[in-house]
Structure 1
Amino acid sequence: MIINQTFISDIKTIITDSREMAIRAVDHQRTLMYWHIGKRIFEEEQKGKERADYGVYLIKYLSEQLQPEYGSGYSVRQINLYRQFYRMFPIVHTLCAQLSWSQYKLLLSVDNESERDFYIAETVKNNWTVRQLERQIYSSLYNRLLLSNDKESVLAVARKEKVPSEAKEIIKDPMVLEFLGMKREASYYERDLESAIITHLQDFLLELGNGFSFVARQKRIHLDGDEFYVDLVCYNRLLRCFVIIEIKTHKLTHQDIGQLQMYVNYFDRMEKLTDENATIGILLCASKNDTVVKFTLPEGQKQIIASQYELYLPTEKQLLEEVNRELEIFEERGEMSSHLDNK
């Protein structure tokens, strides 16, 4: 007797899906338990709020009573986390069942409410693991997107309230490629960086942004006897277009921009289908002069993006300085525009 293998595969899928749903359900109940513990602690604290040390004493005493019976999950540090959890998410109905307790613990380190909302929406939308969420928080994804977008646009895209219409809404500058494991001080060729990206392709696509899939490496272009090779070709299903990436381990030049423009033109005329959008070109470079980029490209163009890469995670101070610098430039432009309007 021959058994259809599709039947076996279906049964295996049912078992796997059911197990995953059971694990998620148990974890969500655990998350709710920690929230209710935090709520009860906060309510008890209010009874002795006139005593400055009451809260500290209460948590220490509670830990002494619970830890011998229930284990290390009720240490002073853990109980403080439950209290903080309730204070940060005071309405139980706002808790997301798709997020695990481990992910909520990571979110407790994010003080800004809009930033926290962004990471919650992105985690649910992209089904991020704990490790992926941790990396995005520590690489300050939210702040990097804010460098080229307004807060409302970033949040709207994350919550699926808005479909990205421009590459800059999902492509970051700088890109952080610390997962490649390449040392900053080392001398390396562009092919070395490209090979490292291919080795860590899943992490690279995650860093690129939402909706990216890999198409080709060293895509050959033949033009009347001359041959050219595009470093990386991707496709973005949200923007519905090809995204071609050129890697430059030196400071960006206007010749690099011209080369990428030629590749973009080729894909638009030879590869793009009629119902697809215009090709996007990304110059991934070690450093760049934004003014050179600005005057090399036509005004208002949206197809070529120069993004600097970093081989290490930026510090919060570095990112805040960059955000503040961009805000100052924006304000100066606003003042200049207002001055011209008054004239």
Structure 2
Amino acid sequence: MKEKSASVGEMGKSGENEIAIASEELIGNIRPLIEQAKARVAQSVNSGLVLLYWQIGKRISDDLPAESRAEYGAKVVELVSERLAAEYGKGFRRSNVFHMIRFAEAFDDAKIVQTLSGQLSWSHFIEIIYFKDPLQRQFYTEMARVERWSVRTLRKKIQGMLYERTAISRKPEELARQELEDLKEEDRMTPDLVFQDPYLLDFLGLEDTYSERDLEAAILRELERFLLELGTDFSFIARQKRMTIGDRDFYLDMLFYHRSLRRLVAIELKLGSFDAAYKGQMELYLRWLDRYERRPGEEAPIGLILCSEKNREQIELLQLDRGEIRVAEYLVELPPKGLLEAKLHEAIRLARGQEELCSYQSKWH
């Protein structure tokens, strides 16, 4: 009898283990369903909230034209916000109601708002709506949507003047608008939307004197932040990529892949000013990558030469502001914002002046 009891006891333990294992497996299968449902509900709530705020802003804008808002309109809005906040909560406080009005003014197409409401939160829109330049506003809207930026990432991109550092900001308005429309309609990224100038690498913490290898090593130590500076679609592939060409070995500093562009991106790091010889070196690397590393369905590889200084005349003569090779400066110390703004605005002015000159010349030839 004792032996039989022991056997029953062992069977009981085994049964408990089986029950525990089965319950864990079931919980593991159920948990994703709950998380997915929570995400759908949160997205639905966010979408509904964004649309509601736009509708409120639109109604106020329609009922109180801009010319009536100086004093009378502001007092009406304050009274409305007090009543709504008392009835429906803090989301209708004065500052937020004014955000709603600005939101309706900045995004005047209900269909666009409906589409974006499922992808961007109200906090995203607050960061974007006060840009005076419609192209700047559209750039951050579409990039945040396509690259799925968090609000924190969007804020950092704006503070780092990402728009001003991309080639799109230096283009004539019509071309820039068309490129942003293509991004909105087809999610089609271009090198001018991806590459920046200058790149802000102040987070690397380099000393006053450093070598190209020091710069490369520092970037790899801080790879996550470097990738965020490049853009969220960049994936790291290799460091010091070896290329055997003829009887010689060449080494590319860094190789990345950009998902939206569907291209390999070769990056060379250079100290000092840009030199024309760097173009030939990069062209050799790109031809090799195109022949031996490019996969079916990918576009041709492109290259980025990062220099501590740019030689603008050489770059213009070599036409490196368009095509498969780009040159950009990097800053290992973040300059005062005013100085950076002046530098970028001057670059934009020069680039637009060059485009206008080319356009003018083409009309006469």
For the aligned pair, the TM-score class normalised by the smaller chain equals 0.7 to 0.9
2:303 maps to which of 281, 306, 309: 281
**Paired residue for 1:201?**
223
Residues 281 and 304 of structure 1 are in contact (CA less than 8 Å); yes or no, is this contact kept in structure 2?
yes
C-alpha contact 1:173 1:309 (8 A) present in aligned 2: no
Pair 293,338 (structure 1): closer, same or farther in 2 beyond 3 Å: same
Inter-CA distance 13–338: structure 2 relative to 1 (3 Å threshold):
same
User: Is residue 27–residue 100 contact of structure 1 (8 Å, CA) maintained in 2?
Assistant: yes
Q: Name 1:35's counterpart in structure 2.
A: 54
Contact 2:237 2:255 in 1 (8 A): yes
**Does structure 2 retain, via aligned residues, the 8 Å contact 1:118–1:158?**
no
Given that 1:38 and 1:82 are in contact with CA atoms closer than 8 Å, whether structure 2 keeps it comes out as yes
Equivalent pairs, count: 335
- Runs of 5+ in structure 2 lacking a partner? 1-17
CA-to-partner distance for each residue in 1:268-310, whole Å, 9 max, x for gaps? 3433347654332211111121332455x59999332222224
Within 5 A, what are the aligned runs for 1:250-329? 250-273=272-295, 276-293=298-315, 302-311=323-332, 312=334, 315-329=340-354
Q: 8 Å contact 2:276–2:314 — kept in the other structure? A: yes
Q: Give the alignment partner of residue 97 of structure 2, picking from 75, 79, 98.
A: 79
Instruction: Go from structure 1 to structure 2 and tell me whether the alpha carbon gap of 1:304 and 1:20 turns closer, same or farther (over 3 Å shift).
Output: same
Mapped to 2, the partners of 1:265 and 1:302 lie a distance apart of 14
Match of 2:133 among 112, 116, 131: 112
1:54 aligns with 2:67: no
Query: SS of the residue aligned with 1:232?
Result: strand
Amino acid at match of 1:333: C
Percentage of pairs with the same residue:
30
Q: Quick one: structure 1 residues 337 and 93, their matched pair in 2 at CA, closer, same or farther if it must change by over 3 Å?
A: closer
**CA offsets 1:226-275 (integer angstroms, 9 cap, x no match):** 54432111123444432211111321223433433333333234333476
Amino acid at match of 2:120: L
Q: Unaligned regions of 5+ residues in structure 1, if any? A: none
CA distance in 1: counterparts of 2:62 and 2:72, whole angstroms: 12
Deviation (angstroms), 1:148 = 5.5
Corresponding position: 1:26 with 2:45? yes
d(CA) in 1 for partners of 2:233 and 2:111?
29
1:215 CA displacement? 0.7
Q: Which residue of 2 aligns with 1:215?
A: 237
> What displacement does 1:54 show?
0.6
C-alpha deviation, 1:70, in angstroms: 5.4
CA distance in 2, matches of 1:195, 1:72: 49
Q: Secondary structure at the match of 1:104?
A: helix
Q: Please report the RMSD computed on the Cα atoms of aligned residues, expressed in angstroms.
A: 3.6
Partner residue of 1:123? 144
Superimposed CA distance per residue, residues 22-66 of structure 1 (whole angstroms, 9 cap, x where no aligned partner)? 2222222222332333344335535x9768521122233334445
Determine helix, strand or coil for the equivalent of 1:159. Answer: helix
In structure 2, the CA distance between the partners of 1:320 and 1:254, relative to structure 1 (3 Å rule), is closer
Alpha-carbon distance in structure 2 between the residues aligned to 1:269 and 1:75 = 61
Equivalent residues in 2 for 1:185-196, closer than 5 Å: 186-196=208-218
| Cα displacement (A) at 1:124 | 2.2
CA distance in 1, matches of 2:105, 2:233: 34
Q: Does 1:177 align with 2:200?
A: yes
> How many Å separate the matches in 2 of 1:274 and 1:89?
40
With the length of structure 1 as denominator, give the TM-score of the two structures: 0.79
Judged with a 3 Å threshold, the aligned counterparts in structure 2 of structure 1 residues 322 and 9 are, in CA distance, closer, same or farther, namely: farther
Task: Indicate the structure with greater helix content.
Answer: 2
User: Residue 214 of structure 1 aligns to a residue in which SS?
Assistant: strand
**Which amino acid in 2 is paired with 1:177?**
L
Indicate conservation of the 8 Å contact 1:241/1:279, yes or no: yes
Matched residue, 1:336 = 361
Secondary structure class of the residue paired with 2:195 = coil
Distance 1:42 1:276, change over 3 A: closer
Structure 1 CA distance, aligned partners of 2:133 and 2:237?
A: 37
Give the distance between the partners of 1:33 and 1:275, measured in 2 at CA: 42
TM-score (norm 2): 0.75
- Residue 180 of structure 1 aligns with an amino acid whose one-letter code is F
Matched letter for residue 137 of structure 1: I
CA contact 1:170–1:209 (8 Å) conserved in 2: no
SS at match of 1:53: helix
Does the CA-based 8 Å contact 1:180-1:197 persist in structure 2? no
